[in-house]
Amino acid sequence: MSSLVRFLFSLAAAIAAASLLAASLRRRVQPPHLPDQLNPGPMAARNRSFVLWLHGLGDSGTANEPIRTFFSAPEFRLTKWAFPSAPNAPVSCNHGAVMPSWFDIHELPMSPGSPQDESGVLKAVENVHAMIDREVAAGIHPNNIFVCGFSQGGALTLASVLLYPKTLGGGAVFSGWVPFGSSVIERVSAEARKTPIMWSHGVADRVVSFEAGQAGPPFLQSAGMSCEFKAYPDLGHSIAREELVSLEGWIKARLKASQDKES
């Protein structure tokens, strides 16, 4: 037998011995079976609620993640958060420049009579609904799902909540607008009409005019929906700490009511 053949046989034997040793060790260190109360299944600590935050034009989901630090109440202990980023697309109001955008915006400042990209909005709504559906399929009740958004994300929030077929926990619009015409109202289901809406808008907003925000509650009223509208006199096109504190209390109250129904 040549030295090369002897070496190969020795190598194969060593590998086999190492495999047997590894298998033996794995059997020895196998964790003991714990009783159910000490070894909870995956459902024990599952998420009980879901908050989806939609950013504004040119922004990103990652940049908005610090918002969740405002929600430290116990009711949010089992809340799942999502901060998706819009796809890059050319935007008409910015001379076709490519940037993160949920749908096209034809002009800024936004006014009640500004033209809207309704087909783009409806396509973006489908994507938001897919995100919501995944959480519902994972076991989160629709009543514990909240969609929130700023500016363009606020407009998409409104559209997504109105057109979702089930009653959600709520929709929160910050400095947003109504992104489609009144013909959409006939598509709003009876269940969707029960979803509460919170709307906050700065009076000093020069990007999405305060008048564009004010057009929201009458539109929702015509759809048979309720809306809590709050104006912030000195606020421009941004989110104030006070708005987030209000949002925390608003969601917390609805989560508590939902939990009381379950118990």
Integer Cα distance of 257 and 91 in angstroms: 41
Which of the residues are catalytic? 151, 205, 237
Residue 47, SS3 per DSSP: coil
Tell me which amino acid residue 35 is: P
For 233, counting Cβ atoms within 10 Å of its Cβ (0-12 exposed, 13-18 middle, 19+ buried), the class is: exposed
Q: How far apart are the two ends of the chain, measured CA to CA in Å?
A: 78
Write out 187-250 in H/E/C secondary structure: HCCCCHHHCCEEEEEECCCCCECHHHHHCHHHHHHHCCCCEEEEEECCCCCCCCHHHHHHHHHH
Contact yes or no for 51/148 (Cβ under 8 A): yes
Q: Determine contact, residues 221/235, Cβ cutoff 8 Å.
A: no
Return the H-helix or E-strand segment holding 6.
helix 3-28
